[in-house]
Amino acid sequence: MFLQVKGVGKAFDNDFEVFSDLDLSIQENQFVSLLGPSGCGKSTLLSMVAGLESVTEGTIELDQQQITKAGPDRGMVFQQPSLFPWLNVKENVMFPLKKKKGAEELAEHFLKMVHLSRFQESYTHELSGGMQQRVAIARALAMDPKVLLMDEPFGALDEQTRHILHEELMKIWQETQKTILFVTHSIQEAIKLSDRVVVMGTRPGRIIADFNIDLPRPRQRDDEEVIALEKKVMNLLEGEINKVLKEELSHESV
């Protein structure tokens, strides 16, 4: 298996165990979304795959190499694009490439892919939120990672921009054949984009469902099969979200 999470657990210093004994296998080129109630550990899992967080138990392997720290084989895109405001668009994309030969051509290639060739010399304050996120995607792709890790990348964008970026991301994914692990709160987004939707539950954090989505793309929101799947996932998630809310309320009333 290309990306393999085996018996993985995570406890933070305060002894709080987010999840334990988690297993997840992802094939090369697959687009997998992680859905789950707030606090179930989606971002923590993504950070562990990125090597930004340590593993408390178990192992994570990418292409048969155990992950122990961050590396260029994993590209990360966050909700906030975190670009350098003192660098222009092209320089931002070139930044992680350091002095790599052909860095400028690579940056130009990926900026073309996200339709930002015209804005190469612009600075971040001159760009919309959607454009900034496209720069962040180009920057992650320019490293030619084996896997693209995306943590709610479109969560802060308006509906229309999100829709456009969904289409762009689908094209990029088909063109680059990257393996993508994508965290989102949106059931619609997960079903629209993914080959698989993995649903996590909480207290304790765990995987409660794994849906294979074998529907042709582009997927339309009013498609009957899409609607039926959305309902199924929604029912599962509602149960988990209610559990969290009940627990939080019971703590408050103590």
List of residues contacting ligand ATP (CB under 6 A): 12, 14, 16, 18, 36, 38-44
Cβ neighbourhood burial of 16 (10 Å; 0-12, 13-18, 19+): exposed
Q: Identify which of residues 136 and 142 has a Cβ nearer to ligand ATP in the complex.
A: 136
CB of 183 to ligand ATP, least distance (A): 6
Q: How far is the CB of 153 from ligand ATP (least distance, A)?
A: 13
Residue nearer to ligand ATP on the CB measure, 12 or 84: 12
Q: How far is the CB of 156 from ligand ATP (least distance, A)?
A: 13
Do the Cβ atoms of 20 and 6 come closer than 8 Å?
Answer: no
**CB 52 to ligand ATP: min, Å:** 10
Minimum distance from CB of 93 to ligand ATP (Å)? 27
Question: Which of 36/75 has CB closer to ligand ATP?
Answer: 36
At 195, the amino acid letter reads: D
Residue 41 or 81: the one with the smaller Cβ distance to ligand ATP is: 41
Phi, psi of 165 (to 5 degrees): -70, -30
- Pick between residue 143 and residue 157 the one whose CB is nearest to ligand ATP: 157
Q: Which CB atom, from 228 or from 245, has the smaller least distance to ligand ATP?
A: 245
Residues 217, 170: Cα–Cα separation, whole Å? 9
Comparing CB distances to ligand ATP, the nearer of 137 and 199 is 199
Nearest approach, Cβ of 95 to ligand ATP (angstroms)?
25
Nearest distance from C-beta of residue 42 to ligand ATP, angstroms = 4
- Three-state SS sequence of the chain: CCEEEEEEEEECCCCCEEEEEEEEEECCCCEEEEECCCCCCHHHHHHHHHCCCCCCEEEEEECCEECCCCCCCEEEECCCCCCCCCCEHHHHHHHHHCCCCCHHHHHHHHHHHCCCHHHCCCEHHHCCHHHHHHHHHHHHHHCCCCEEEEECCCCCCCHHHHHHHHHHHHHHHHHHCCEEEEECCCHHHHHHHCCEEEEEECCCEEEEEEEECCCCCCCCCCCHHHHHHHHHHHHHHHHHHHHHHHHHHHHHCC
